[in-house]
């Protein structure tokens, strides 16, 4: 199975879960779904850098834990939804727990290159931001960051996850670029950017362009720690080689 098809299958599984539980209005509560299938949710201290959640299995009983350092409600909900992905997506439990019992730790939030983790991320996005309901809110007239902020409030999701979902469905030229220090972690682009001829796509590990607002923001670690914000403007070819 191709990666694209595997990710689509994860999204379809989220759609099935929503249908089975008759969830047709935003926000979707992953805690409610977990309770319905008998999964207990608790907090747990992360055992390694970047770990956000855990799925525990003892026999046929499952538990979900999210890392104690996470304080963002949207990311907590995404982390729980990610672990639900491991529970619901066919084959995940068998792959993660080959000996039956165990504890799996996840790095949710589109940071992992592992297909199983990426499937769980796509499941979480489709579960918390179902395309039909999400696009209905998108049609209310806002664009860009104000639209993303309004969607995040409606869906009770993080700005990052919401922005990624927004980029999937908008007709606007949008790129969601996540970075740490002077390096790119990942980039999601809307179709209107993907379709530009001659554009070199941003890759993980690429350098944040010097002189941009992002580079200046990342120069001070306290900005990210304090959840500060900044605005700026730049040209498309500052970020994308070959841009028109």
pTM for this model (two decimals): 0.93
- How many beta carbons lie within 10 A of that of residue 225, not counting itself? 8
Collapsing DSSP to helix, strand or coil, 106 comes out as strand
Mean pLDDT along residues 145-153: 95
Q: Under 8 Å CB-to-CB from 217, ≥6 apart: which residues?
A: 223, 228, 230
pLDDT of residue 111: 84
Instruction: Kindly indicate the confidence band of residue 53, based on its pLDDT and cuts at 50, 70 and 90.
Output: very high
42 has a pLDDT exceeding 80: yes
- As a whole number of angstroms, the distance between CA 29 and CA 32 comes to 5
Buried b (16+ CB within 10 A) or exposed e, 162-192: bbbbbbbebeeebbbbbbeeeebebbbbbee
- As a whole number of angstroms, the distance between CA 219 and CA 125 comes to 30
Give pLDDT tens digits for 116-139.
999 999 999 999 999 999 999 998
Q: Where are the domains of the chain?
A: 3-132, 173-244
228 has a pLDDT exceeding 70: yes
């Amino acid at each position: 199975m191709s990666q694209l098809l595997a990710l689509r299958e994860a999204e379809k599984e989220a759609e099935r879960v929503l249908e089975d539980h008759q969830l047709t209005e935003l926000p979707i509560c992953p805690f409610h779904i977990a309770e319905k299938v008998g999964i207990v949710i608790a907090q747990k201290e992360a055992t390694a850098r970047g770990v956000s959640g855990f799925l525990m299995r003892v026999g046929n009983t499952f538990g979900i834990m999210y890392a104690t350092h996470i304080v963002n409600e949207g990311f907590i909900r995404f982390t729980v939804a990610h672990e639900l992905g491991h529970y619901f997506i066919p084959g995940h439990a068998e792959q993660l727990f080959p000996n039956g019992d165990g504890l799996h730790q996840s790095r949710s939030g589109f940071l992992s290159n592992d297909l199983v983790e990426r499937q769980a991320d796509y499941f979480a996005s489709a579960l918390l931001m179902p395309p039909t309901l999400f696009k209905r809110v998108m049609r209310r007239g806002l664009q860009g960051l104000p639209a993303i902020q309004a969607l995040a409030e409606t869906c009770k999701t993080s700005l990052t996850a919401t922005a990624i979902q927004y980029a999937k469905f908008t007709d606007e030229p949008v790129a969601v670029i996540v970075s740490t220090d002077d390096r790119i972690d990942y980039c999601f682009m809307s179709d209107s950017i993907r379709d530009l001829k001659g554009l070199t796509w941003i890759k993980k590990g690429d350098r944040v362009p010097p002189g941009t607002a992002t580079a200046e923001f990342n120069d001070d670690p306290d900005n990210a720690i304090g959840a500060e914000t900044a605005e700026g403007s730049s040209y498309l070819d500052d970020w994308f080689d070959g841009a028109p």
